[in-house]
Amino acid sequence: MTVLVPEPRWRGTLLWWPRLLGSITRAELVFSLKCFAAAMLAMFVASRAGLPRPFWSMLTAYVVANPMAGAVRSKALYRFCGTLIGSTATVLIVPALSNTPELTALALALWVALCLYVSLLDRTPRAYLFMLAGYTAALIGFPSVETPTAVFDTALARVEEIGLGILCASLVHSLVLPTGLAPAVLGLLDRTARDSRQWLHDVLQADAGEGAGRQTFDADRRRLAADVTQLRMLSTHVPFDTSHLRWTSGALAAMQDATAELTSLLAAVDDRLQALREAEGGLAPDVQAVTTRVDAWVQTLPPRITEAAAPVDKAQVQALLAEAWALTAVASDTPLPPWSHALRLALASRLEELVLAWQRCAELRDEIGRGLGGAPLPARRLPALGAQALHRDRGLALLSAIAAALAVLACCAIWIATGWRSGSAMAMMAAVFCSFFATMDDPVPMIHGFLKGTLWSVPLAAVYVLAMPLVQDFGMLLLLCAPVFLLLGCFIPRATPGNLAMPMLFGVAGALSMHDTATADVVNFANSMLAQVLGVVAAARVTALVRSIGADVVARRIQRASWRELAELSAPAGGGRRQLREDSYAARLLDRIGLLAPRIAQAGGRIEGVVTDDALRDLRAGADIVALQRARAALPKGARAAVLAQVAAFFEALQAGRRERPAALQQQLDAALQGVLAGPARSPGERARAVAALVGLRRNLCPGAPPPHGLTMEMSR
């Protein structure tokens, strides 16, 4: 008889450590060494300068660390500006309200909430500046409540210490084996171009729209939307990069907007080809010939931006445009139904825009490629829509701000009621943790994960804080910090669930920063750590009660925001803000598609009332609304306001939860289409744009409706 003896637990632990250490890559080790060098340099300079809390410099060097040098420099700038603003706010608030602790707590809580609200509306890496301005005031202000006369000295010391950490981190990451942004940015740019080319190829094939063929590239379309948004966010760091990439920031911004426009046009051409297949029982030979030639022309673009490409042949572009418009010519011996003519006119109009948009993308890619090689680029003004191109949820941002204010005030109430000397740390941690994870649908799991890492760091933090009085020189300090900080630093870049490296490292460094290590004792340390843990718990509990919502709720809010914007686009034209909305709608709707896709996946692939196809329909409808607004003069006078009013009413009804399509909408679209086709036109091109917009709106807002009857039209461009 064989007796199975269980393996001792300690043996499994011993086997686990070698596997963990063996998984460290060369890039992670180099990153950790650079972080540690920057932190120790900052500590050394801060100590020699006589700053009171030099460990703030060390902590800052780790906070701004990033594997990419450009991201380090941009984050460093944002952190310094945020620290300066937050420190200034503290100096203005605390002394003025020092006689009333309740008002001081209320003012600091409202400041944290205001900064968090503004940060959540930004949605770019620049948002870090506003978030930091909020919780910096809490980090400096709450410990200074008992000594308000020293708040200026404390704030000045923090700015100096944090500034030193920022400077050292920027120097080390920029000068020692710097990792540029170019591989990440160019990889995303190449992937968006490849996905766009593949989408176009699928769209322009005669059999691409049927059955399983259509399902094969739905995922590519959603990934393209997510990539465009990710590229826009990553490009925020480009002006700070260490390579030639920083000189191409203007062209990159223009490329992002051009890609957003291209995506809406791809969706529109896809729909028009589907309509022609339904109306004519398949694509006619002349349509197939044109789409094949356009597809072949697009496929000539090199797969990577760094590869040399021949200049765009403008004569070839004009020939393609002429072939597209030849689809609308009327042959007397083979007459087509008016609806088919209208669809061909709509297809030709969208193909023209698609070819010109692709030409612009190719020229911008060539410009970026030349800039990477060091060639001078033309001065390019950054587009005004950059700040408007991302989805903003003001309601959710306000809810997050309220949760942060309530968590801070709850901690302050306990602090004031008990007179606990370490209570300030509780309010500080509540402000920090409510701010850190506010961008998530449900921040509570991440707060709990960070709390777990913080608890694991307590024994290490105790050893470091209590051992610091024994350190005699900087060499001993370096040897004491090296084992833990070098090891944990290797795992910071890993964005994996349950990664405890960052909370453990920040727990140790934060404990050193918030204690006077020359006079620290066990009682003070225990009180401080207990207050910090309670602050994190308070942040989690208040967030769970006030702020946590499911992915399905966020998805519905995103979709309602799209419907609200489409209703606004249908309102009477006029004004500079209106023009800005029209220019940026495509990028914003693409951003929303990218936000919807992971939430639908998280909900098991389905959220009641929300599907990504609806978002693509909204993207196409937005393009048609903008085109119709710009071709209003081609509509009969009586139909100009009526048709747009019906479209606006339709999207307002969707916001209210009514999904039925009113018969008046289809009737108004058909009447406007008949009026444009039968009436005189000042410009054939203007009439073509109006027809294309009306056909698109009818296809998107009235799916499944039979072709309109009684149409009469004269097919001329």
Query: CA-CA distance, 1 to 557, in Å (whole number)?
Result: 65
More confident residue, 468 or 210: 468
Question: Which stretches of 209-284 are DSSP H helices?
Answer: 212-215, 218-234, 249-280
Please check the confidence at residue 573 and state whether its pLDDT lies above 60: no
Most confident region among 75-79, 247-251, 303-307, 674-678 by mean pLDDT: 75-79
Query: CA-CA distance, 425 to 420, in Å (whole number)?
Result: 10
Please check the confidence at residue 636 and state whether its pLDDT lies above 70: yes
Strands in 38-187 per DSSP E: none
pLDDT band at 683 (very low <50, low <70, confident <90, very high): low
Please check the confidence at residue 384 and state whether its pLDDT lies above 60: no
Question: In this structure, what are the phi and psi dihedrals at residue 586, rounded to the nearest 5 degrees?
Answer: -65, -45
With contact defined as beta carbons under 8 Å apart, do 78 and 248 qualify?
A: no
Host H or E run for residue 497: none
- The stretch 21-38 carries a mean pLDDT of 87
- The closest of 137, 148, 163 to 54, measured between CA atoms, is 163
Give buried/exposed letters for 385-394 (b at 16+ CB in 10 A, else e).
Answer: bbebbbbbbe
Please check the confidence at residue 79 and state whether its pLDDT lies above 80: yes
With contact defined as beta carbons under 8 Å apart, do 120 and 405 qualify?
A: no
Q: Bin 318: left if φ > 0, else alpha if -120 < ψ < 50, else beta.
A: alpha
- The closest of 128, 151, 141, 116 to 81, measured between CA atoms, is 128
With contact defined as beta carbons under 8 Å apart, do 429 and 529 qualify?
A: no
Residues 6+ apart with CB under 8 A from 332: none
Which tokens is 265 given? 């046009």
Torsion of Cα atoms, 334 then 337 then 343 then 344, to 10°: 10
Summarised one tens digit per residue, pLDDT across range 39-61 is 999 999 999 998 888 889 999 99
Host H or E run for residue 47: helix 26-48
**Average per-residue pLDDT for the chain:** 79
pLDDT band at 306 (very low <50, low <70, confident <90, very high): low
DSSP structure string for 668-709: HHHHHHHHHHHS--S-HHHHHHHHHHHHHHHHHHSTTPPPPS
With contact defined as beta carbons under 8 Å apart, do 203 and 273 qualify?
A: yes
> In this predicted structure, what is the pLDDT of residue 543?
93
**What is the 3-class SS of 289-310, one letter each residue?**
HHHHHHHHHHCCCCCCCCCCCC
Query: CA-CA distance, 654 to 197, in Å (whole number)?
Result: 33
More confident residue, 519 or 613: 519
- CA-to-CA dists, residue 199 to 202, 302, 567, 598, angstroms: 5, 16, 28, 20
Please check the confidence at residue 70 and state whether its pLDDT lies above 60: yes
Please check the confidence at residue 575 and state whether its pLDDT lies above 50: no
Query: CA-CA distance, 600 to 610, in Å (whole number)?
Result: 8
Summarised one tens digit per residue, pLDDT across range 261-296 is 777 788 888 888 888 888 877 888 888 888 888 888
Q: Bin 529: left if φ > 0, else alpha if -120 < ψ < 50, else beta.
A: alpha
pLDDT band at 603 (very low <50, low <70, confident <90, very high): low
- Give the DSSP letter of residue 660: P
Most confident region among 8-17, 470-479, 705-714 by mean pLDDT: 470-479
- CA-to-CA dists, residue 576 to 283, 561, 579, 583, 623, angstroms: 42, 21, 5, 11, 18
- The closest of 234, 233, 240, 185 to 74, measured between CA atoms, is 240
More confident residue, 383 or 163: 163
Summarised one tens digit per residue, pLDDT across range 232-262 is 777 777 777 777 777 777 777 777 777 777 7
Summarised one tens digit per residue, pLDDT across range 689-715 is 888 888 888 888 887 777 777 665 554
With contact defined as beta carbons under 8 Å apart, do 266 and 307 qualify?
A: no
Query: CA-CA distance, 31 to 39, in Å (whole number)?
Result: 12
Question: In this structure, what are the phi and psi dihedrals at residue 607, rounded to the nearest 5 degrees?
Answer: -125, 125
Which tokens is 84 given? 């300066």
Q: Bin 307: left if φ > 0, else alpha if -120 < ψ < 50, else beta.
A: beta
DSSP structure string for 545-575: HHT---HHHHHHHHHHHHHHHHHHHTSPP-S
- CA-to-CA dists, residue 347 to 74, 131, 274, 512, angstroms: 44, 47, 10, 66
Summarised one tens digit per residue, pLDDT across range 538-558 is 999 999 999 888 777 888 888
- The stretch 89-115 carries a mean pLDDT of 92
What residues does 607 pair with on adjacent strands?
Answer: 610
Host H or E run for residue 348: helix 338-372
With contact defined as beta carbons under 8 Å apart, do 62 and 166 qualify?
A: no
More confident residue, 309 or 400: 400
Which tokens is 502 given? 């960052």
- Give the DSSP letter of residue 164: H
- The closest of 236, 21, 10 to 123, measured between CA atoms, is 236
Q: Which pTM does this prediction carry?
A: 0.81
pLDDT band at 512 (very low <50, low <70, confident <90, very high): confident
Query: CA-CA distance, 168 to 317, in Å (whole number)?
Result: 52
Which tokens is 403 given? 């949760």
Host H or E run for residue 2: none
- The stretch 28-32 carries a mean pLDDT of 90
For residue 149, the Cα-to-chain-centroid distance in whole angstroms is 42
Percent share of the chain, pLDDT over 90? 18
- The closest of 528, 550, 531 to 539, measured between CA atoms, is 531
Query: CA-CA distance, 564 to 648, in Å (whole number)?
Result: 9
With contact defined as beta carbons under 8 Å apart, do 600 and 607 qualify?
A: yes
With contact defined as beta carbons under 8 Å apart, do 256 and 228 qualify?
A: yes
- The closest of 31, 69, 48 to 161, measured between CA atoms, is 48
Host H or E run for residue 335: none
DSSP, collapsed to helix, strand or coil, labels residue 111 as helix
> In this predicted structure, what is the pLDDT of residue 17?
52
